[in-house]
Amino acid sequence: MEKARLYEAMYLVNHGIDEAVRGVQRLKKSPKLFMETYHKSMAGLERRRSIINLQFMLEMRKVEEDDESRFEEEFNVWLSDEPLTNEEICRLMRGVEREHKLEGKPPLVQFLARSNHLKKVTKKNEGHPSRKVNGSPTSDSGDKSTEPEGAHA
């Protein structure tokens, strides 16, 4: 996960500054010649740490607020008692695919335009004239399917 790497990098920056502070503290044991240098070094290190941490936290706050609102919306959709519509399912899957693409991962699903879907299904069924588009055998009684016309997997 990308956020974990960012937080790990900030940990390493802070850890490195801690090491530098410990090194400067060892100089404090030196003669009084180094006292001014010691105080300036300590103040400079802590100042830089606070600037880096503040900038990082401000940037991450924006990212976290965006994520919170996006996940709140998805969370509420999943908690709903109403079944998801085809459009909601597609929107959620497109979001998942967008995240995969940003992470450099291959797609999980491929979205086909409705016209492409119908072309592939009709080509597949050309050799089987006695079968419906959805793969079930046709009935001679002329009964129509109870599946809505716009529904397809």
Identity of the amino acid at 141:
S
The pLDDT assigned to 45 comes to 92
Does 19 have pLDDT greater than 60?
A: yes
| 142 domain-assigned | no
Q: Are residues 46 and 66 in the same domain?
A: yes
Domain contains 139: no
**Are 14 and 78 found together in one domain?**
yes
Please count the structural domains in the chain: 2
110 and 38 inside one domain: no
Q: Do 45 and 69 sit in the same domain of this protein?
A: yes
CA 62/CA 54 separation, integer angstroms: 13
What is the mean pLDDT of the segment spanning 74-94? 79
Query: Is 27 part of a structural domain of the chain?
Result: yes
What integer is the mean pLDDT of 6-11? 92
Domain for residue 51, yes or no?
yes
Q: Is residue 153 part of a domain?
A: no
Give the structural domain span for 16: 2-82
Are residues 58 and 14 located together in one domain of the fold?
yes
Q: What is the pLDDT of residues 98-138, one digit of tens each?
A: 888 888 888 877 767 767 656 666 666 665 555 444 554 54
